[in-house]
Structure 1
Amino acid sequence: MAGVPSTETTSTSDVDEVLDAVVTRMGGARREGQHEMARAVAAALEGDTHLMVQAGTGTGKSLAYLVPTLLHAVRTGERAVISTATLALQRQVLGHDLPLVAEVVEEKLPRPPAVALLKGWHNYLCKHKVTGGYPPEEDTALFDMAPESASAAEEHPAGSARDDSLGSQVVRVRAWADETDSGDRDDLVPGVSDKAWRQVSVTSMECIGQSCPLRSECFPEAARQAARTADVVVTNHAMLGIAASGSPGALPEFDALVVDEAHELPSRVTAQASVELSAPAVERVARLARRQAGAATQALDDAAALLRTVLTATPEGRWPEALPPEIEGAVRAVADAAREVLSSIKQDSVKAGAKEGDAGGGLAQARSAALVLFEITDRLLSDRLRNREDVVWLSRGMGPGEAIKINVAPLDVAGPIAGHLLAGRGAVLTSATLTLGGTFDATASSMGMGGADYEGLQVSSPFDYGRQGILYVAKHLPKPGRDGTDPQVLDEIAELIEAAGGRTLGLFSSRRGATAAAEAMRERLTTPVLVQGDDSIPSLVRSFAADPATSLFGTLSLWQGVDVPGDSCQLVLIDRIPFPRPDDPVIAARTEVVAKRGGNGFMAVSATHAALLLAQGAGRLIRGVADRGVVAILDPRVATARYGTFLSRSLPPLWPTTDPRVVRSALRRLRGEKA
């Protein structure tokens, strides 16, 4: 598929030999766990089977899957897709690991491996838009584009260009457009805000395609053409989510799949398949249709007003079985009006307008917006809610001016993942946290696999967790309440940080809790305390890593992906078990389904969610063979509740204790050793 296939297969000796050569060239040492994983990956790809590999920090899992994947793809002619969840890992794979592996692997192959990077259409600059082929974007997006990952939002925050006006950012991007060879937003340094980027990019639906006068210079199309001829395509979980949601053309044809950070895949697929409807969104479609296409929009304006009225009068919450009659009537009015607008903006007129210059882009934007609106209403009016395929609820924004929204999310993504991504091909799913409660069962089930559908492998870690770290559960503290941080908990936090001399990463279940704790610690401690919101996440992490006396507090953005080895992070504080909110509509619906099938909904949904986050949070401590420290969980339920054992089995095998004196003494010794 990707090239001329060969009858030659990849042997375990080949994999071992090439992996040894790569590691040697990097100046590293042989790790048996890494070789064990590489051989298992080769076997899965050769046999078109599914493999789940839990490989912790320090295993070197990216090299362990890259070596057999490149060998397999070139020798068989079968294209492989490699997906990562974060921009940081994608950059590591593309910028460092993959080129090195390709250089070594080439010596074993008849030709060099061809590698391509593929992202969503809106991640690339549109030359036609830059040269005036589309009208300027309005201040607010119609339907927010889902970010590729949490890290994407952090690495392109509005704050990253906080000293630039929107106009100066756009000017800078336009100048960059004449220099870039890729058009990839991630190659623009420093970055710009989402609002500025929307001025120079389009979605795939807004693209005017073959009618574009700059089609031959199209950056996203060039990326897709390269992917269609590559041996290995590196992409992200957002693209897998689009493919799993019923748009297989988002990816080139492929025969093998490797998913790194695979624990993130179900949530990313859920995010890509979720949509929302609000009166302001409908009103914006009407404005676009009038301004860019000259369409009559009275019916759509009236439907938006009706929707606003009924949503304002409807209480917040989930609709378990069907839309309320008044809501259904308003949504149906929007659907009918959107259909009228679509009928008035024919696809042929979009193509004809493109030949006339600016009008083509405006017509494409208007038609795209109307089509998205119609598809959302069509989904709301379908049988998906009644058939328990979707979860639908009403939410009211917390901030001033935030819209009242109808939200739609898939109840389950296991079927789409199994059917669209895994079926009929070899697949490797790997992460540091795939086993929950000591088994792969929960994670495999979330991806549509039963016990007979995959092989599970836990590779040995180079870390001696029992000697390098302590797991401290503060059993003596009160059970966490809903109203702020308990004074006893604040006392515990202060005493632990004092013993550690700073060096603390505080992981909190809410922004309010993190902020309250940070303010309290700033009053009590002499060492610096940073808190999420003070600056962008990358800047905060750099400041934390640079000064061992500093502590950093935050919420979910810090639970995953923070990599600070060495003396700066010797204490990881977790304020409470990170259960999802009990009123979360998707969690509640999934819990009900499990219960109706005779299962334990709490354990299958909430406890599993919490176990995954706890494992990710605890994993921030030991990042290297020389690291030492403590993971302190300030929630006694880990030690006292029946589900506590399940949670504990999901954590790294640190030495356990509930004695605060032991922990403080250990932290003081660590601080003294480094003094």
Structure 2
Amino acid sequence: MTVKEFFLEKLPQKMPYYEKRDAQIQMAELVEQTLTNGGEALVEAGTGTGKSLAYLVPALNTDANDVVAISTGTKNLQEQLVKKDIPFLKTLWEEDFSYMLIQGRSNYLCLSKLYNTLMNEDDRAFLKKWVEETHTGNLNEVIGKIDWDTRQMVGSDPDYCLGQRCSMYKECFTTLLRSQAKECKLLVVNHHLLLTDLMIKYTAGFEQGLILPPINHIILDEAHHIEDIASDCFGQEVTFNDFINIKNQTASSKELQRKDIALKNRIENELDEVTSYINRAKEIIRQKEKEQEDRIELNSELALVAGNIKSCFVEARNLLSEYDEDTLEAMALYRKTARVVSGLEAFLNEEQDSVSWANRKGFYNVPLKVAEQLNNVLFEPHHSVVLTSATLSTSGNFSYIKSRLGLETPEEAILPSPFDYSKVLLAIPNDLHRPNSDEYVKKIGEHLQEILPQIKGGSFVLCTSFKMVRALQDALRGKVNLYVQGEQSPQDLIRSFIEDGSGVLIGVDSFWEGVDVPGEALKAVFITKMPFPVPTEPLFEARRKLVEERGGNSFRELSLPIALLKLRQGFGRLIRRQSDEGLVVIYDSRILVKNYKRDVFNSLPTCSEWRGPLDELSEYIKSESCWCEKLFKKPNCASSIGRF
């Protein structure tokens, strides 16, 4: 059965309320063509297209022995796939198929560590009982039931894994995971796990540390972040938590103590010396942050401190090598300390094609370009790779993402959303031109004070910095029900916001995308500023300089495309269902007059529009009965309509 036959014949029979969507069928046919013929495809599918089914159906139509990885950027989409979309298809599909969600191996219990690590004995007893009940060994099942430190200690770790030499190999949950994965048609993973696994395969071949089996086809949903995730995966980082974990694992090792307690004490003394250097590094970083320096130069005192930390870990690594090779924990800690040494060396010896920086989490070195590595680990080794998202294009084309990912001749499709965006009022004031001034933020705060209480439903206020979040929080406190990023976990914050029904959520990056609030719970989105990247952010700054050194225009090639993608994501929070309608306000008047204004409007759907002085927006809405009834509470509309 072709995908077109599935959507036109099979699906309507089993799903009477299904409405044919031409864009969904177009996408499914393009995905099927790519999976069959091989190569790459870029597919932008607007909200409401039904892109999940549009790639899952062709994935199931591939050769019987082919394995398809579906990789996502968020847990929300993973849950939608494994709890809703794939189970639904399983009820329709003529042939049986298997699928599974695979998470990073640290999410799974290591039985060897459970029995050989010093830990809270109550937690050990609980986990031993749980082992008899669980089918997966996924430690997310016991969150809140054991100490977080215990959870960190007992997670599976490739550095500790003996593979078939382990006495618990047959009972091992990661062994079971690999065995089950080999039998699956569809594997649902996240981008970070996928790229990390592929990088290991490319550099070291298949070995015991791998989770994923050989894959024929890869479908990357939420693919607009692939470059950033690839930079993380292909770079090196050494966090302050890494230092602490190695120290704690050394101290809690019963095996090191049993084999040679004197040697263990020497290692602990060496790692104790690191503590003062770590504290000094954190102190320097805090001071630099106060001075608003994002990048710490390598000739600074911090580089000297990082060098001292490296020296301590070199000594600890050498001491660990004195244990016998059959001392599992010594070998695991040796590999961990060696990785710390390698990461610090990369940080201290920044290459021309990479950038190093430090922040309150640790030390980093990442590549400036990932195209060649993506070709080596992702595109070249696999028969087909499909990249899709609701936002992949900028200014109506794929030039930006193709250049960043090194794609030369992929199949391409930009498929519009079936939603009616005439039900969205896009309001842009024409008198706010200085977005970096205090007066700009003050005027936004005053306008929000005036308009938010009138909105019939909830509102998002999307900011580009926590400084602006705090300023608007102060301006709105006591005037509306506020839900501010950082006060609860993102999941709890969204849940509380939806339950309120007329609240105001103020947030930054993570709330511009991946948040689904349909219906009256979200009636208005206020975008405070064009979301251009922070020019001093280390990785962006280095990439910008690279473009300019070769004579390119960094604004057109980097800054603007990044901002347009994020703007589209923020705009897309409003319309999540066919029946949704509402207001989007973009306060930044620059988009009306700057030379990139055409790029902005080419990147947004065609809406109803208003432009004018900011203080006239509410009166305009009141004067237009259709908009007043859609957006404002009845008392506000009734008084205004009565005047006409």
- TM-score (norm. length: structure 1): 0.80
Give distance in 1, aligned partners of 2:145 and 2:462: 27
Change (3 A) 1:261 1:520: same
Is residue 566 of structure 2 the alignment partner of residue 619 of structure 1?
no
Give distance in 1, aligned partners of 2:122 and 2:634: 47
Is residue 355 of structure 2 the alignment partner of residue 391 of structure 1?
yes
Give distance in 2, aligned partners of 1:172 and 1:483: 55
Partner of 1:514: 469
Aligned with 1:550 (options 475, 480, 503): 503
Partner of 1:231: 185
Q: How far did residue 307 of structure 1 move?
A: 7.9
Aligned with 1:81 (options 44, 62, 69): 69
Give distance in 2, aligned partners of 1:306 and 1:393: 17
Where do 1:334-413 residues align within 5 Å? 335=310, 338-346=313-321, 349=324, 352-353=326-327, 360=328, 362-363=329-330, 365-380=332-347, 385-388=350-353, 390-395=354-359, 397=360, 405-413=362-370
Partner of 2:85: 97
Partner of 1:488: 443
Is residue 382 of structure 2 the alignment partner of residue 421 of structure 1?
no
Partner of 1:150: none
Is residue 207 of structure 2 the alignment partner of residue 207 of structure 1?
no
| Residues 73 and 231, structure 1, Cα contact 8 Å, conserved in 2 | no
Is residue 630 of structure 2 the alignment partner of residue 630 of structure 1?
no
Q: How far did residue 380 of structure 1 move?
A: 3.5
Q: Percent identity?
A: 27
Change (3 A) 1:179 1:286: closer
Give distance in 1, aligned partners of 2:300 and 2:487: 46
Where do 1:596-675 residues align within 5 Å? 596-659=549-612, 660=617, 661-663=619-621, 665=624, 667-671=627-631
CA deviation profile, 1:527-584 (whole Å, cap 9, x unmatched) = 4222223322222222322333222222222111111111121101111112222211
Give distance in 1, aligned partners of 2:462 and 2:124: 36
Partner of 1:468: 423
CA deviation profile, 1:462-497 (whole Å, cap 9, x unmatched) = 2121x1212222222242225586321112212331
Aligned with 1:35 (options 25, 43, 53): 25
| Residues 206 and 364, structure 1, Cα contact 8 Å, conserved in 2 | yes
| Residues 452 and 459, structure 2, Cα contact 8 Å, conserved in 1 | yes
Change (3 A) 1:93 1:312: closer
Give distance in 2, aligned partners of 1:275 and 1:484: 41
Aligned with 1:255 (options 201, 216, 221): 216
| Residues 472 and 658, structure 1, Cα contact 8 Å, conserved in 2 | yes
Q: How far did residue 99 of structure 1 move?
A: 2.3
Change (3 A) 1:407 1:600: same
Partner of 1:114: 98
Q: How far did residue 265 of structure 1 move?
A: 1.6
| Residues 576 and 633, structure 1, Cα contact 8 Å, conserved in 2 | yes
Give distance in 2, aligned partners of 1:168 and 1:306: 35
Q: How far did residue 631 of structure 1 move?
A: 1.0
Partner of 2:641: none
For 1:419, the aligned partner's letter is N
Give unmatched runs, 5+ long, in structure 2: 257-262, 636-644
Deviates more, 1:115-124 or 1:17-26: 17-26
Where do 1:9-408 residues align within 5 Å? 14-20=2-8, 21-22=10-11, 24-26=13-15, 27-74=17-64, 77-105=65-93, 107=94, 109=95, 112-130=96-114, 132-136=115-119, 175-188=129-142, 195-243=149-197, 245-248=199-202, 249=206, 250=210, 251-277=212-238, 282=243, 285=246, 288-289=249-250, 292=253, 293=256, 294-295=263-264, 296-297=266-267, 316=288, 323-324=298-299, 335=310, 338-346=313-321, 349=324, 352-353=326-327, 360=328, 362-363=329-330, 365-380=332-347, 385-388=350-353, 390-395=354-359, 397=360, 405-408=362-365
Is residue 516 of structure 2 the alignment partner of residue 563 of structure 1?
yes
For 1:503, the aligned partner's letter is G
Q: How far did residue 231 of structure 1 move?
A: 2.4
SS in structure 1 of the partner of residue 170 of structure 2: helix
SS in structure 2 of the partner of residue 567 of structure 1: helix
Give distance in 2, aligned partners of 1:667 and 1:643: 29
Change (3 A) 1:255 1:606: same
Give distance in 2, aligned partners of 1:640 and 1:34: 36
- TM-score (norm. length: structure 2): 0.84
Give distance in 1, aligned partners of 2:72 and 2:144: 23
Give unmatched runs, 5+ long, in structure 1: 1-12, 138-166, 354-359, 398-402
| Residues 241 and 270, structure 1, Cα contact 8 Å, conserved in 2 | no
Q: How far did residue 332 of structure 1 move?
A: 5.8
For 1:616, the aligned partner's letter is Q
Q: How far did residue 25 of structure 1 move?
A: 2.6
Give distance in 2, aligned partners of 1:536 and 1:226: 33
CA deviation profile, 1:508-544 (whole Å, cap 9, x unmatched) = 1223322332332233x3x422222332222222232
RMSD: 3.3
SS in structure 2 of the partner of residue 224 of structure 1: helix
| Residues 485 and 517, structure 1, Cα contact 8 Å, conserved in 2 | no
Q: How far did residue 78 of structure 1 move?
A: 2.4
| Residues 71 and 220, structure 2, Cα contact 8 Å, conserved in 1 | yes
Give distance in 2, aligned partners of 1:281 and 1:588: 27
Change (3 A) 1:168 1:284: closer
Is residue 395 of structure 2 the alignment partner of residue 440 of structure 1?
no
SS in structure 1 of the partner of residue 520 of structure 2: coil
Give distance in 1, aligned partners of 2:596 and 2:132: 58
For 2:377, the aligned partner's letter is H
Q: How far did residue 80 of structure 1 move?
A: 1.5
